[in-house]
Structure 1
Amino acid sequence: MKRVLLAILALLVVLVAVLLIKTYTYPFKKNKHTAGEGWKPVKNDSAVMRLSGGIKIPTVSTGSLGEFNYEPFDRFKEYLKASYPLVYQHTENVEVNQYGLVFRLKGNDLALEPILFLSHMDVVPPGDADVKNSQENIFRPDDKPLDPISKVAEDWEYAPFSGAVANGRIYGRGAIDMKGMLFSLMESLNNMIKNKETPKRDIYLAFGFDEEVGGQKGAIQIADYFKKKGLRFDAVYDEGGLIMRKGNVAGIDSDVAVIGCAEKGFLSAKIKVKGLGGHSSMPPMESAIGKAAVIMQRLEDDQMKPVITPLIKEFFTNIGGEMPFTTRLALANQWLLKPVLTSQLTKNNITNALVRTTTALTMMKGSDGTNVLSPEVEFVVNFRLLPGNTIKDVREHIAKATEGFEVEVEEIDNTREASALSPTNTKAFRLIEAGVKEIHPGAIVTPYLTMAGTDAGKYEIVSKNVYRFMPIKINSSEQQSIHSTNEYLSIENYLKMIHYFEYLMKNYDK
């Protein structure tokens, strides 16, 4: 018995030694913590006011495309022409499907594949307020706080479409998503032209107008326009990742710039569950709503399996060296500790979304009466697909969850597969790293998985190098303002974003 115990102890010692050796020799990226603030913004009131003016135009996209109010989009196009005459004079510029905008600045070497920068001019509505009854408050152009009688006013410090400039910030719907990026690209291209900087390869800008409702008439048509012209792009740059401030990524004592090298897919299913209707005084043993509850419980309890994809493995390799020892131990020894690692990752909402196709129950409708049994109950479940999972996999998953019940399943919104994975060993990605270091030298730069939908995936038909990143440094509360209330972009972030894109345009071939 003593020998057995000694043998077990020896095995444990060997195991601990192996775990420690693998942890300390694991090839975590060694991040250089460069001191300093990087490029310092130079005051540029005219650039700030141009963005402010663009925010004042309520280019809201909502519902189906036929319900659009196009008048603000017409105004926005005219505003861009008036604000950037040099860009319009010195580029080839076309309209695709009337409201999509494309600009081409010619380079010196037409044999080189061009680069493409994306944005979109549409924004989501300002909130759940009764817009019709509070338009005077929502759309007024001044920068004073809203009248508190407006429902929107209760949640917004400044009017959503005021473009208010105060407290070192530019306020309003679209300040971050995405007019800040759109105007920074126009400013960068304008600076290139003004300073007589001719790039080696062509530079394109492309702005959609319905990204917030799927991009069917904007980005898809623009990408198809490029394909028909026979264009291939060496890189496509769009929104997606951000620079998270120090302290906002758990366990990391640095700013972290996350570059979206892939994007999750999307499937929303409306599930109608059949049952017996009637009066609640004589209910059946199992109602439609009870059956729906069973299905919903199955969907939440038996979710799709978590997987650490190659992209997320690279993400953890890049930031893992900065994380606590226990985390590095698990990351370095997945041969043994992967079940423990995935278990911990799935307990957190953010990291859970990185490693699995998520399941979200979002809407439900049944009877309108307290004493009425509905013969049909419907609910909506939204899946965000992890690269590696397919639409077919999700459909089979739904079929399994609804097994044994009479249901109708209808896919709503824009079903799409997860995107392809863009490589990180490219000039295009390295330039992102260099651009980030130019404005925030202490930031860790790492590939990442973009959770939300963007226009970027539509351009995979014209490039294999598609990157999702907006070079602004924000904290978690600022990130929460996107599509919510009190959205704003700091002037410092805006001016640094202009410099970042100008840096990419000028240095792509240097």
Structure 2
Amino acid sequence: MLPFSRLVFWPLFLVCALGAGLVARTCWFSTTAPAPSPGLAQSLTPGASAAALSRLQQAIRFRTVSQDDTLQVDTVQFAGFRRFLAVSYPLTHRHLSPRLIGGGTLLFTWPGRADGPGTLLLAHQDVVPVEDSAQWQFPPFAGLVRRDSIWGRGVTDNKANLIGQLEAIEILLHEGYVPSHPVYLVLGHDEELGGWRGAARAAAWLRARGLRLARVLDEGGFITRRRVPGMQGRPVALIGTAEKGLLTVELIASAPGGHASMPAAETAPDLLLTALQQLRHHEFTAQLTEPMQQLAGRVGPVLPWPQRLAFANRWLLEPLILRGYAASPAGAAAIRTTLAPVRLLAGSKDNVVPAEARARLNLRLLPGSTVATTLQQLRSLLPDSGRVRLRVVGRPAEPTRQAALVSSPDYALLDASLPVRALSTPFLMVGQTDARHFTSFTRQVFRFGPMSDPAGFHARDEHLAVSSFLGGIRFYRHYLRNLPE
């Protein structure tokens, strides 16, 4: 039998050694902190700034609203918006020869000095509907400038990017700039519906002609002082290097109906609610995917000491990191597949028990999972009685593959083009973009819009700081001017 002193010494020694190792790794980790981008120095003239802002205001006034029922889409608004773009950006329309695709999407081609793989910029014309305009501080389609911000439906999603790209291209054409290789600009008209009539057909058009892409840049992340815990107000540019998949399913519960005065022990709504609770209480596996691991490597070294210790020692402390992410809806969305009930339908009369009840569920799939495996999981959680069925609605989308690492020249160009001093980092896009239709062309697919803390995505009081919009023009101008030869 070992003496008592030895029984105490060795465990204490191991604990101290482990603690010293964790601290040493954290100190080394601190030395790997990347330098933030210094931000662009040049700015627009006051006259150019005022003119660009006026054009964005006019763009917001076109009610280019997406509708699930395409027969309800106001095509007059979309056509008017395209005419407005033609008048506002004459050099772009003269030199880039826009082509109408899918009835509303514009595809511009900017010939380069040489053929070869080109660069694709994406933005979209369509916006989501306004549910109750009376709840807005300012009319949602007025494009008003108040409190140093521009307000209106679609200003952040996605007309500030769209106008910013066109402003930058118009400026470069006026300067006589010609890119080294082709540049394509796709302005989709149905991104909010999946982009199947617009971006998907634009991708097919490029593919049918054997055209190649070296890099793709679409909307996605942005510059934020508020969204990265622990950064204490320091600006972080979130560059999406992958996006989650999309799956919408419908649960259909069936049971005998009847008079509401004599309900059965278990009705169709009962079955549906039980199934919903079962699915909602199921937690999909949490993990740090590659984009989030890269985020940990970029942001971790400059976080406060406790978080820095955890990120520096992920091999041991990853469960704690995952628990911290899971504490908020936004954090949980970054580490696991999510499921949200979005529509419920049952019954047509107060005194009739419905024989059928339905619910739609929207799932966002973490990279590493698939539509097939997720469906298998869902079906395994449903009761075996067969009275609750599950069917797929719409077109599912698999999670995308990861873009190139932060050491790639294309990522470096994004970093160098930031309009303000900020630390850039990859991250996982939890939503879907038109960029996913082009992932077969290249791995260099990035999702980033040069806006600073935009507000009101798909919500009321959507607005963006005027300075942020003007910074976006500078971003796109620098980005296009410095594309690799």
TM surpasses 0.5: yes
Amino acid at match of 1:257: A
Taking the aligned partners of 1:96 and 1:49, their CA distance within structure 2 comes to: 28
Letter in 1 for 2:216: V
Inter-partner Cα distance in structure 2 for 1:261 and 1:378: 36
1:429 Cα offset (Å): 1.2
Aligned 8 A contact 1:28 1:320 in 2: no
- Corresponding letter in the other structure for 2:414: I
Matching residue of 2:230: 251
Partner SS, residue 461 of structure 1: coil
Question: What is the match of residue 134 of structure 1?
Answer: none
Residues 337-378 of structure 1 deviation map (CA, whole Å, 9 limit, x = unaligned): 222322222122111111111111222223345554332222
SS in 2 for 1:159: coil
Q: Does residue 5 in structure 1 map to residue 5 in structure 2?
A: no
Q: Aligned runs of 1:416-427 on 2, under 5 Å?
A: 416-424=397-405, 425-427=407-409
Question: Which residue number in structure 1 is paired with residue 444 of structure 2?
Answer: 465
After superposition, where does 1:370-385 map in structure 2 within 5 Å?
372-385=352-365
From 429, 435, 446, the counterpart of 2:425: 446
Alignment map for 1:174-323 (pairs within 5 Å): 174-245=154-225, 247-253=226-232, 254-323=234-303
Inter-partner Cα distance in structure 2 for 1:8 and 1:469: 49
Equivalent residue, structure 2, for 1:144: none
Q: In the alignment, does 2:389 pair up with 1:414? A: no
Task: State the partner residue of 1:497.
Answer: 472
CA 1:27/1:251 → structure 2, altered by over 3 Å: closer, same or farther? closer
Residue 213 of structure 2: SS of its match in structure 1?
coil
Deviations 1:35-89 (A, max 9, x none): 7884445322111112211211111111233332211111111111111111122
Indicate conservation of the 8 Å contact 1:223/1:461, yes or no: no
CA distance in structure 1 between the aligned counterparts of 2:269 and 2:39, rounded to whole angstroms: 60
Distance in 2 (CA, whole Å) between partners of 1:123 and 1:446 is: 27
CA separation of 1:338 and 1:30: change in aligned 2, threshold 3 A: closer
Does 1:19 find its partner at 2:22? yes
The answer to whether structure 1 residue 61 and structure 2 residue 36 are counterparts is no
1:509 aligned partner, one-letter code: P
Contact map agreement 1:226 1:462 (CA 8 A) in 2: no
Asked whether the equivalents of residues 38 and 420 of structure 2 are also in contact (C-alpha less than 8 Å), the reply is no
Match of 1:435 in 2: 417
SS at match of 1:339: helix
Of 338-347 and 460-469, more deviation after overlay is shown by 338-347
Q: Which amino acid aligns with 2:231?
A: I
Match for 1:74 among 65, 75, 79?
A: 79
Supply the AA of the counterpart residue of 1:409.
L
| Residues in 2 aligned to 1:172 and 1:160: alpha-carbon distance in whole angstroms | 4
* Secondary structure class of the residue paired with 1:176: helix
**Counterpart-to-counterpart distance in 2, 1:400 and 1:190:** 55
CA distance in 1 between counterparts of 2:277 and 2:30 reads 41
Moved more, 205-214 or 12-21: 12-21
Which stretch has the larger CA shift, 415-424 or 87-96? 87-96
Kindly indicate whether the alpha-carbon contact (under 8 Å) linking 2:22 and 2:309 is maintained by their aligned counterparts in 1. yes
Q: CA–CA distance in 1 between the matches of 2:67 and 2:89?
A: 28
SS at match of 2:438: helix
Q: What SS does the corresponding residue of 1:501 show, helix, strand or coil?
A: helix
C-alpha deviation, 1:209, in angstroms: 0.5
- Corresponding residue number in structure 1 for 2:307: 327
Q: Check 1:374–1:97 CA distance in 2 against 1; reply closer, same or farther (3 A cut).
A: closer
Identity %: 29
Aligned length: 477
Q: Which moved more, 1:198-207 or 1:276-285?
A: 276-285
Show structure 2 runs of 5+ residues with no match.
none
Of residues 105, 108, 115, the one that matches 1:103 is 108
For residues 375-426 of structure 1, give each alpha carbon's deviation from its aligned partner in whole angstroms, at most 9, with x where no partner exists: 2222122110011110011101111111323222122233111112111232
1:454-487 C-alpha deviation (Å, 9 max, x unpaired): 111011132221110000111xxx43x1222222
Distance in 2 (alpha carbons) for counterparts of 1:50 and 1:334 = 48
Aligned match of 1:91 in 96, 103, 106?
Answer: 96
Give me the whole-angstrom Cα distance separating, in 2, the residues matched to 1:306 and 1:86.
Answer: 50
Amino acid of the residue matched to residue 447 of structure 1? P
Give the 3-state SS of the residue equivalent to 2:473 in structure 1.
helix
Pair 98,293 (structure 1): closer, same or farther in 2 beyond 3 Å: closer
Change (3 A) 1:462 1:294: same
When residues 311 and 248 of structure 1 are mapped into structure 2, their CA distance, relative to the original with a 3 A threshold, is: closer
**1:49 and 2:29 aligned:** no
Q: 1:35 to 1:114 in 2, by over 3 A?
A: closer
Show CA shifts across 1:309-353 (max 9, x none). Answer: 122111111101122222222222233222232222212211111
Counterpart of 2:398 in structure 1: which amino acid? Answer: E
- Other structure's SS at 1:13 match: helix
Question: Which residue does 2:481 correspond to in 1?
Answer: 506
Residues of 2 paired with 1:187 and 1:356: CA distance? 38
Q: Secondary structure at the match of 2:417?
A: helix
- CA change 1:368–1:331 in 2 (3 A) is same
1:144-163 residue pairs with structure 2 within 5 A?
152=133, 154-163=134-143
Is the contact between residue 362 and residue 379 of structure 1 (CA under 8 Å) also seen in structure 2?
A: yes
C-alpha change, 1:33 and 1:453, in structure 2 (3 Å) is closer
Q: 2:368 aligns to what?
A: 388
8 Å CA contact retained: 1:28, 1:317: no
1:168 to partner: Cα distance: 2.7
C-alpha contact (below 8 Å) 2:325/2:331 kept by paired residues = yes
Q: Give, as a single letter, the amino acid of the residue that structure 2 aligns with 1:415.
A: P
Is the deviation greater in 411-420 or in 328-337?
A: 328-337
Q: Distance in 2 between matches of 1:506 and 1:179?
A: 22
| Matching residue's letter, 2:8 | L
1:113 paired residue number: 117
For 2:459 and 2:81, locate their aligned partners in 1 and report how far apart those are by CA, in whole Å: 22
1:278 deviates by 2.6
Take 1:343 and 1:160, find their aligned partners in 2: how far apart are those partners?
Answer: 39
Using the TM superposition, give the Cα deviation of residue 92 of structure 1 relative to its aligned residue in structure 2, in angstroms: 2.8
